[in-house]
Amino acid sequence: MVEFWVNVFLISLLVVITFYIIRLKSLIAIVALSGAYSLTAAAIFVNMDAVDVAFTEAAVGSGISTILFLAALRYLPLEEAHHTRFSGWSLTLCIIVGLMLINAAFSLPDFGDPGAPAHLHVAPRYIEESYPLFHIPNVVTNVLASYRGFDTLGEVVVVFTAGIGVIILLTGSTLSMRFRKSENLPVQNKEASKKET
Amino acid sequence: MRENPVFKIVSKILFGPIIIYGLYVQFHGDYGPGGGFQAGVIVAAAFILYSIIFGLERVRKLMPVIFVNYIMALGVLVFAGTGIASIILGANYLDYSPFAYKIYKAQHLGIIVVELGVGLTVFAVMLGLFYAFSGFKPKK
């Protein structure tokens, strides 16, 4: 019962944070609030006993991505652009999609239901085998690195590719090119800032 | 903010413990919550904290950009190389059983090596992204 009310409190906190993210104009406040959103989501995961997910959400969602957003804000104006055109069609579409999602959520299995499809396929085997056979208490790590090692390799390659892509986009092609360009880079930026002013 | 002695001393004191905590999360992933993804982020956060307080140049001396780029690829190589090693030892790709005589020891060994690869890549990608975002524009 306590868990239920904690969940109610945390989810209503999420709604309040979302409301302020939509309402506020200052981008720094929005970045800080999205960090708070991730931290609240992590608290919800802890409440549902998904400690590994909560750990990732707290470290990545509210830690690193907030810092990266703040670093990206150096190149952006501090205020959101003025944009308050109201559209009836968008509102109707939002309401219809929202009602459909709520309707779909009713047919999901209950939280922790042992008869849910996700708990009937391979999960029982993982839980039974993990400790007696492999002496690994944390089943999540065992599934991640051992049973589903191939998936995790794919994830690491995705992280690697995405990181390389963003770094190349931001720092301008390859390393040798960057060293060559480093001589005239400040000049280019000065010209750009003059044009802005 | 950078001249404030409180920030300087606190970040200096915290730098080591954050990295040690990251290593704990890294190598304790099969006993408690955590693993390579979280550990990489935590260790990267230590370097980012240091660079926020002491400036980007000092962190770049500590962990040069080219070094970060190599670590990024090294992590994926460690992970994929584990799979190649198990093929060479006569098992399927990423099957850890031939690494040791007892099956659970082989599993522990395989998971630790694989998670190390994950941690290295995530750490280097996070730090590289931070370098790219914050270090691109020259200071005025």
In a domain, A107, yes or no: no
In a domain, A186, yes or no: yes
A72 and A130 together in one domain: no
A143 and A195 together in one domain: yes
In a domain, A116, yes or no: no
- What is the rounded CA–CA span in Å between residue A144 and residue A87? 45
Interface of B with A in 5-24 (CB under 8 A): none
Q: What is the largest CA-CA distance in chain A?
A: 69
pLDDT for residue A182 is more than 60: no
End residue of a domain, out of A80, A96, A129: A80
User: pLDDT > 90: what percent of chain B?
Assistant: 44
- Complex prediction ipTM: 0.88
Nearest to B107 among A63, A74, A146 (CB): A146
- What is the rounded CA–CA span in Å between residue A47 and residue A196? 49
Q: In chain A, what residues touch B38 (CB-CB under 8 Å)?
A: 52, 55-56, 59-60
Q: Kindly report, residue by residue over A77-123, the tens digit of the pLDDT.
A: 877 777 667 788 989 999 999 999 999 998 888 887 888 887 888 88
- What is the rounded CA–CA span in Å between residue A89 and residue A197? 39
Whole-angstrom CA distances from A109 to A58, A100, A112, A125 are 27, 17, 8, 21
Mean pLDDT of B37-64: 90
- What is the rounded CA–CA span in Å between residue A62 and residue A40? 9
Please tell me which of A15-19, A24-28, A171-175 the model is most confident about, judged by mean pLDDT: A15-19
Whole-angstrom CA distances from B11 to A121, B50, B128 are 48, 6, 21
In a domain, A146, yes or no: yes
Q: For chain A, how many structural domains are there in total? A: 2
In a domain, A115, yes or no: no
pLDDT for residue A6 is more than 90: yes
Cβ neighbours of A123 (radius 10 Å): 13
DSSP per-residue string spanning A25-51: -BHHHHHHHHHHHHHHHHHHHHHTT-H
In a domain, A141, yes or no: yes
A76 and A133 together in one domain: no
End residue of a domain, out of A24, A49, A80: A80
pLDDT for residue A177 is more than 60: no
DSSP per-residue string spanning B75-104: HHHHHHHHHHHHHHTTS-TT--GGGSSSHH
Nearest to B30 among A71, A142, A157 (CB): A142
A68 and A125 together in one domain: no
A75 and A1 together in one domain: yes
A65 and A135 together in one domain: no
pLDDT band at B1 (very low <50, low <70, confident <90, very high): low
Does A179 reach chain B within 8 Å, measured CB to CB? no
Higher per-residue confidence, B106 vs A182: B106
User: Do B46 and B23 form a contact (C-beta atoms < 8 A)?
Assistant: no
Kindly state the helix (H) or strand (E) to which residue B57 belongs, with its residue range: helix B56-62
Q: Kindly report, residue by residue over B102-123, the tens digit of the pLDDT.
A: 888 888 888 899 999 999 999 9
A156–B76: do the CB atoms touch at under 8 Å? yes
In a domain, A131, yes or no: yes
Burial of A49 (0-12, 13-18, 19+ CB in 10 A): exposed
Q: Chain B residue with minimal CA distance to A133?
A: B104
Length of chain B: 140
Does A138 reach chain B within 8 Å, measured CB to CB? yes
Q: Kindly report, residue by residue over A26-50, the tens digit of the pLDDT.
A: 889 999 999 999 999 999 999 988 8
Task: Enumerate residues 6+ apart whose C-beta is below 8 A from A158.
Answer: none
Q: Which residues constitute the domain of residue A45?
A: 1-80
Cβ neighbours of A175 (radius 10 Å): 12
User: Do B106 and B100 form a contact (C-beta atoms < 8 A)?
Assistant: yes
Q: Chain B residue with minimal CA distance to A169?
A: B132
B96–A159: do the CB atoms touch at under 8 Å? no
At residue B115, what is the residue type? E
3-state helix, strand, coil in chain B (%, to 5): 80, 0, 20
In a domain, A168, yes or no: yes
End residue of a domain, out of A47, A80, A113: A80
Output the pLDDT for position A178.
53
Kindly state the helix (H) or strand (E) to which residue A120 belongs, with its residue range: none
User: pLDDT > 90: what percent of chain A?
Assistant: 37
User: Do A11 and A2 form a contact (C-beta atoms < 8 A)?
Assistant: no
